[in-house]
Structure 1
Amino acid sequence: MTQLPGLLDTEAIRKDFPILDRQIHDGKKVVYLDNAATSQKPRQVLDALNAYYERHNANVHRGVHVLAEEATALYEGARDKVAAFINAPSRDEVIFTKNASESLNLVANMLGWADEPYRVDRETEIVITEMEHHSNIVPWQLLAQRTGAKLKWFGITDDGRLDLSNIDEIITERTKIVSFTLVSNIMGTINPVEAIIRRAQEVGALVCIDASQAAPHMVLDVQALQADFVAFTGHKMCGPTGIGVLWGRQELLEDLPPFLGGGEMIETVSMHSSTYAPAPHKFEAGTPPIAQAVGLGAAVDYLTSIGMDNIAAHEHAITEYAVKRLLEVPDLRIIGPSTAEDRGATLSFTLGDIHPHDVGQVLDEQGIAVRVGHHCARPVCLRFGIPATTRASFYLYSTPAEVDTLVEGLEHVRNFFG
């Protein structure tokens, strides 16, 4: 068995994840390497969801009966846990959404409807990057189309890093918002946050960070980041689907208009006008994802008990080993950084002229779950002149043996199509 420095006790951790014991295709044990798409869920999260529905289910806020008070305490308790997890200055800066996509759309729409000095209009510019997930491209395209603002972006270098050589020309005095991913979901690149935020602050632009591929894997400290908004999703960090988070600076949340209207987000309503509740409720119209928030709170507890520094060290060791092993496979090309330096636990690659969908299908027959396609990051594929990639992504329960199984599987793919 391969031993690497910095690894977690994966034998113990994997016992918390029932699905990792599943066998498919005539008794082959699942090798789950699709964590960038969604992570698996530990028993602690599954138990929290069951307990909520079995013993505490009710709508939150306003209710005076026991179940409503219990549900409210669990829901708001999850907000406290998330706030502590990301080191938010105030729990009221944590907004629950249904996913990171909604969080990013929320920011875009707030800025489109805002008064000065935050309003995006035809005199202003929006800056993103070429390596964004579609969820951090399309909302800004829509905003630019509606307002007449100019959309600009940073390109990608040949080794899969952001090209910041023209940062002063991309981020200018007209820039209103800079929105970029902390970790690329297709290449694993960890982006230079400090340099981008420093330039944005010089010109007075707001900064929004998509941390969907960061929050599950490393310490996420919103105060240290010094961004204005941070978005991430629960299902990639051992939580359930249907729950996302938007963190925003308190003063911005107080000044910016709501995106959705309805129950709970109001202070007073008449037939002529309405006033709004303070943040975060101003941005949480209607019945929120209560059970999902409870599940996310349990996921935060689970990750915190292991330690995000420990998880990051484990994944770095796995990634370093995976890069080394994959580069031993003939005709394999890693798309993005070819070392483990400043990269997350996501590796996308091509294998000769074999289509990624064929690679994925043959790997699946061996029990190996990877992702194939453009991974909602089609501009990256266009940049590198490829139709799609095969993506293997690791997490706290991933092992060197699974990396070896992937490499053996790729050799089988080569022989199958050889």
Structure 2
Amino acid sequence: MTQISAAGKALSAGFAVTLLQMVVAIFLVAPDGPFEYRYQTLLQHDSHWFANIAARGYETIVPPISHKMMEVSNTAFFPAYPAIAWILHRALGLGVENALLITAQSAAWGFWTYFFLFCERWNLPAGWQLLGTLAILAHPAAFFLVAGYSESLFLMALLGFLYWSGMESRRARILAALHGIVMSATRIVGLPCAFAPLVKRIWDLGWRKLATVRDWLANYGAAALVSALAMLGGLGFFVYCQFRWGHWDIYMLTQQFGWGIEPDYLAIFKPSSYHWLLPALEDPTEMSQMAMTFGGILLLAIFASEFLPGARRQTNRSVRIPFYFAAFILYFLSVSGVACVNMESMLRYEFCLHPLIVLALLHYLHNLPLRSWLGRASAVTAIALVSAAGLGLESWYIWNFTR
């Protein structure tokens, strides 16, 4: 019998999960109507801004307009997602809206493929892979993977960057850099995430190695080069903005003037940022506030179990370091950015760190000593119960989003 390669299995499984998400969103939850109408209900809110950029390019006055008006200032979004959609639009003659959706859904396939590739790399049993898939699908914002948003492209590029940077070959480093360029060109938070390979290298060699400056190139050169190349996507956008408008930070200015974003980098340390009331289903802002609180508690619990004295050392923790680093960066910068607008959209931003935590948790549980089977079973049961509730909640949000 012909053996199916790990890549083939991952591609097939990723396609199946992506197709499942699309079928649920389009045929089971979207409002009644012809297929094209149902399909395009996945284009809402920010999708129209991406469509505007893909159709007419970036345009703005300087300083940007003081309210949201895409016809005047549409520079509040990074370029990779609308740029790829524009290529499909021009090359295949697709409408801009359909090009955006196909780009996002193709990236979702890539995201799920990398998820299963990590599972194959770590030799996770099929049951664990199914559990991890369910845990990601059950996040209330998981449907954004197949909607006209940049979540799927960013997550595909991020997981691909982490996957290839975890290998030592020259080919792997080139692929890591290419994924990193897309990552940093999709969202500004991709720029600091590019340091994940360097952080892992520093962790692997130990902090004391940093004191030997003459060995930096030998010890950290390859990882630093991958990180530097990965930042070219975002840095290239800043260079473009500088040459065109004379302001490299026109993205930040548009966020400030049009969206009222004033970053608060101390927000995660302020008790007032956390909300403990049970959110109302019909209020997405309250749900975003609760997502911020839950995300903070989860990261704190991970820190306690992994890094405090007494934490288990025999779980191959080094593999999980880049995942924790990227998850913390995503959480910290997302909270800092939306703290001034009552954590609006934090539910969607928090989803981006969710797959990283799920993968790290699967790896951690799989590497626990056998005597901890009770802990594994408890964790599996908890994930299954929470996932069941999450799937119901996600259906509610898809229903509202598509209408």
Question: What is the TM-score when the length of structure 1 is the normalising length?
Answer: 0.26
| Higher share of residues assigned strand | 1
Length-normalised TM-score, structure 2: 0.26
Q: Kindly name which structure, 1 or 2, has the bigger radius of gyration based on alpha carbons.
A: 1
